[in-house]
Structure 1
């Protein structure tokens, strides 16, 4: 059952906010805005101005600008063989293997955290006396590079990049199950990453990798962001083209013009019965993401990525504001004609 966040009320005709690509290949939900705009243009015999939304400028920063250089120090084979008394020797062998060299993103960050933990334990091992100084130097160096390793994970990991990117299409429909699948994965990933970032220790990476896999397979969050941006643009464009419903179609002296009835029918059938509830659910779904987005922005090392994630967090406010401004001239029109919203 849909729970409205934006309500066009009959008493006082007030809009109440309760909650706080070249063109897209598939305009999905936002086609309702095009349908309403077309009906209004036709009824008022206005020029055929397009409200088609352009590709949003808001995009996840590129991998190269976000990537930081990491100075890696290798330990010689003979030295590594002297570390078989602790886990460090095994980790070095694993990282030097062909599979180890393929690690990237958060898998690499996890490996670097594990290496730091192993270095600390090996330094304290009684059989490390002869290599303790070199291990301490390696630990200091590894810790100095850890923030860069985290930055590169944010830059390169395809799962996270996709989840926080703006999609090419608007949502075809609002789907609670698909939304929960994606948002639960993002929330669980963020909680794990927060713990690792705070403690500088990493447990088994299986759950984190699973959550990133879910995010990479889902289009829901990218398409949610795109839908909100497209809807905001179209509502703003419609408001720009029709800042006031022409007084010529207002009801006067008890007479109701045919054009007034046509506008009322279009607004009731498209905005009040379709768009309003969809917009309300988009805002509600986005607002559940706000704390997670804030936490991710707090962890991300790159200032430009922090700014991008923060901008994603403003989408529900932008859509709410666009809806409020769009409805205002319609409030005045309904009041002048004593129309009851939603009822024919």
Structure 2
């Protein structure tokens, strides 16, 4: 019996919805590893496993809240025509085209950088008696002052860059090293580009043309397009802090039931040691070390970017300041480090108390 088009589309929609639900319900391997570790410890202690509480997260403020206003600085058409002398006319014409007016934040950043280069070249090469110099000099200074704002808007309101800093909702998997390297290299490039753009100490020796200068911006934009690795890293560290604290607290509360000493039955302590070596050492510990290492690599890059962006003409809202303090300046990392250390210290105390040799 033939199926109508509407019926076929309805069935197709149901299949898509089911597929999406199945994907979203897929268990996270590392979350499962913590669950298994926690459950095995609870089994040995003969207690109910304490439920993992929700992890409170700070949301990256909205684009509207983060957008830095930019004064509209225009160069008149007649003057722009005169800029053919130093190669800027083509760039401005492209920007004023229909396509130029709808470009994304990354392309907008590239335009502003090229415009600054062009203005600097014009100021350095036009005849000293040119009437154009008097108009270009203040425009160049204004554009130079605006460049941190343009970078800020690109990073925090541009789709791909903002996505990187938006917190995830599940623990990073252990096989995502390639994505980390892509994110680190992209933000390292932005950091260096920002530094050079603010200093602008080099002479510009050629006018604007259709060269590929700043084309790497698009390469890195594409590189991070399908990822939000940094946000997932922030989430993973904050979530594992919650998981570790819950497990450590339950172990500490059960300390009195773990008997060790001469002429005592140390079976429970020995079983706990077995769980430690079977689940924590080969799985949990390397994962925590990976998160720690990756954060310590990406944090200084993000800090340097934000330090350079912290200009007098920059307004950073209170929610954004809180986000930066927690995830970039290290408050969250300190909590993660303390949770990891507290968990390790519990096992150190147990091994010392029970005279267990490390590695056995």
| Corresponding pairs, count | 320
| 2:149 and 2:309 in contact (8 A); partners too | no
What are structure 1's unaligned runs of at least 5 residues?
1-22
1:231 Cα shift? 0.9
Distance 2:141 2:194 in 1: 22
- Residues 88-139 of structure 1: per-residue CA shift (max 9 Å, x gap): 2222211101121123324323322322333344455249834444434533
1:58 paired residue number: 58
Alignment of 1:180-199 (within 5 A): 180-199=181-200
Task: Tell me: CA distance 1:248–1:130, structure 2 relative to 1, closer, same or farther (3 Å).
Answer: closer
Structure number with the bigger relative contact order (C-alpha 8 A, sep ≥ 6) is 1
Confirm whether residue 311 of structure 1 aligns to residue 326 of structure 2: yes
1:174 Cα shift? 4.5
Confirm whether residue 260 of structure 1 aligns to residue 265 of structure 2: no
SS in 1 for 2:252: coil
Distance 1:85 1:128 in 2: 14
- Which aligned segments of 4 or more residues in structure 1 are displaced greater than 4 angstroms? 23-26, 200-203, 304-307
Distance 1:282 1:231 in 2: 10
What are structure 2's unaligned runs of at least 5 residues?
1-23, 205-211
What TM-score comes out, normalization by structure 2 length? 0.76
- Residues 300-322 of structure 1: per-residue CA shift (max 9 Å, x gap): 34545566345334254432211
Alignment of 1:1-344 (within 5 A): 27-54=28-55, 56-123=56-123, 125-126=126-127, 129-199=130-200, 204-301=213-310, 303-304=316-317, 305=320, 308-313=323-328, 314=330, 315-343=332-360
1:252 Cα shift? 3.8
SS in 2 for 1:58: coil
CA-based RMSD of the aligned residues comes to 3.1
| 1:287 and 1:316 in contact (8 A); partners too | no
- Residues 187-243 of structure 1: per-residue CA shift (max 9 Å, x gap): 233222322232288981111221232122334433332222111111112233333
Distance 2:191 2:142 in 1: 27
What TM-score comes out, normalization by structure 1 length? 0.79
Task: Tell me: CA distance 1:264–1:186, structure 2 relative to 1, closer, same or farther (3 Å).
Answer: same
Task: Tell me: CA distance 1:277–1:100, structure 2 relative to 1, closer, same or farther (3 Å).
Answer: same
- Residues 317-336 of structure 1: per-residue CA shift (max 9 Å, x gap): 43221111123333332333
Distance 2:155 2:343 in 1: 37
